[in-house]
Amino acid sequence: MSTDTLAIDFGTSNSAAAVLDNGRPRRLPIEAGAETLPTAVFFPAGGGAMQIGAAAARALVAGEEGRYMRALKSVLGTSLFHEERLISGKRRTLTDVVTAFLVELKGRAERETGRTFTRALSGRPVHFHTADPDRDARAEADLRACYDAAGFAQVDFLFEPEAAALASHGANAAGGTGLIVDIGGGTSDFSVFRAEDGEVRILASHGIRLGGTDFDHAVSMAHAMPLLGQGGALKREMGEGLLPMPNAIYADLATWAKIPFLYTAEIRRDVARMVKLAEKPRVLRRLSTVLEEELGHDLAFAVERGKIAANGAENDARIAMGLIEKGLTAPVTPASLDDCLTGFGEALRKAAAETLQMAGVTRIDTIVLVGGSSLMQLIEREMRVVCPDAVVARTEAFTAVVDGLALATAA
Ligand SMILES: Nc1ncnc2c1ncn2[C@@H]1O[C@H](COP(=O)(O)OP(=O)(O)OP(=O)(O)O)[C@@H](O)[C@H]1O
Ligand SMILES: [Mg+2]
């Protein structure tokens, strides 16, 4: 691959682009003043130009009319990715949306460098979908189709943790065996590697579909959604007794990629009917406010902030829900955070142990933590259980993957 290759880390939460300059990765400021850009889009209601990254988030926070979307990578490989939806007055598929995002990213990279990129070297998780090879293959094919449509004549993929290994072997300067642990927004990826004669040799890579957006989901379901009526009851339309509140709408509202699809007349009507039947109508009215005023993403951001604030906090953190009802907050304690994430710790430990097994090693000298969610305390704790003798190194959590991809364009 040569100088016309753009390295792209298309992340669930954040994306980045880089090129190789004189043998070194050069991250491109595809977001003004930043090395990464939120993988988010905003379509203004009036049909104006699509915005991406921080500008999309600003439009959302400013309450502009339009459709905001985030975490689209998690929809790759599913039927939703190909369904046409009405998005700000125009019928589009998510394929169109991701393509438009990549077109904009490519354009920014080209303006920044004055080069034309005909090839992309893109990261991909080891598994977009756990234990479902067909869906996994479809996810890569979906992403490839978006790169093709965005104008890249050639697209190659590299496993994200392998890219991170290329960039981080400096962190493993003492030599020996390293384990990359890349916990992002959508997936957790692992590579066992050895640095020999300045070369990185990958012994095994593995991954599961679990990341920060799943942590957000769990935190939301345990702390925020009960304040919107989740777990409550409805009176029967006919006859005596109570029925449990349906859970599906709360599960969708707590899932980044599904939020935009909740704002339909049908769902709003259903919720209005449920408010009338609710045992506690005042609480359920908050759910109705979220749907009417399209506050789902504002709530998801508040949950994400609450998660990060509670991580390692000495005092309780709070999810601020004042936009929904004045003064409304959901406390998150370190213990309640731990509680709702316990099952995840176990899954991550198992995946890391499997990676060691696949590599045929029993001892890891250095654990290299990358990815935004590796900042969650539970990650280091769980990885130390799997690799008790290892030193824990942290490198550039948000840019190790794109750096490694840029290095790999030299190949
Ligand atoms: N300080 C922090 N503490 C805990 N979690 C954090 C912190 N900062 C960011 N995160 C979480 O990190 C995740 C994003 O990380 P990152 O940008 O590495 O993901 P990504 O590369 O977009 O996703 P993926 O690689 O899974 O596709 C989000 O879920 C975010 O909530
Ligand atoms: Mg990532």
Q: Which ligand has its closest atom nearest to the C-alpha of 405?
A: 2
pLDDT in tens, 148-204: 999 999 999 999 999 999 998 666 666 789 999 999 999 999 999 998 877 899 999
Q: Atom 7 in ligand 1: which residue has the minimum CA distance?
A: 372
Give the single-character DSSP code of 75: G
Ligand 1 in reach of 25 Cβ (< 6 A): no
| Cα distance between residue 284 and residue 278, in whole Å | 7
Superfamily of domain 174-210+344-396: ATPase, nucleotide binding domain (3.30.420.40)
- pLDDT in the model for residue 408: 96
Residue spans of alpha helices (H) in 114-199:
133-149, 160-168
Using most ligand atoms within 8 A of CB, pick from 9, 10, 13, 126 the residue to mutate for ligand 1. 13
Boundaries of every domain in the chain: 5-161+403-408, 174-210+344-396, 213-338
Ligand 1 in reach of 212 Cβ (< 6 A): yes
| Cα distance between residue 155 and residue 157, in whole Å | 7
Q: Which ligand has its closest atom nearest to the C-alpha of 164?
A: 2
- pLDDT in the model for residue 396: 87
- pLDDT in the model for residue 3: 64
Taking the centre of ligand 1 as the mean of its atom positions, its distance from the CA of residue 173, in whole angstroms, is: 26
Token couple for 162: 């392998």
CB distance 364 to 177 below 8 Å: yes
- pLDDT in the model for residue 165: 95
Q: Atom 21 in ligand 1: which residue has the minimum CA distance?
A: 11
The answer to pTM > 0.85 is: yes
Q: What residues in the chain have per-residue pLDDT under 70? A: 1-3, 169-174
- pLDDT in the model for residue 312: 81
Residue 36 CA: which ligand 1 atom is closest?
Answer: 17
Amino acid residing at 270? D
- pLDDT in the model for residue 168: 86
Residue 160 CA: which ligand 1 atom is closest?
Answer: 25
CB distance 354 to 156 below 8 Å: no
CA 52, 56, 58, 62 dihedral sign is positive
- The CATH number of the structural domain formed by 5-161+403-408 is 3.30.420.40
- pLDDT in the model for residue 209: 98
CB distance 176 to 151 below 8 Å: no
Domains 5-161+403-408 and 174-210+344-396 share a fold: yes
- pLDDT in the model for residue 393: 93
- Nearest to residue 183, comparing CAs of 164, 163, 210? 210
What residue ranges in 153-229 does DSSP mark as E strands? Answer: 154-159, 177-183, 188-196, 199-208
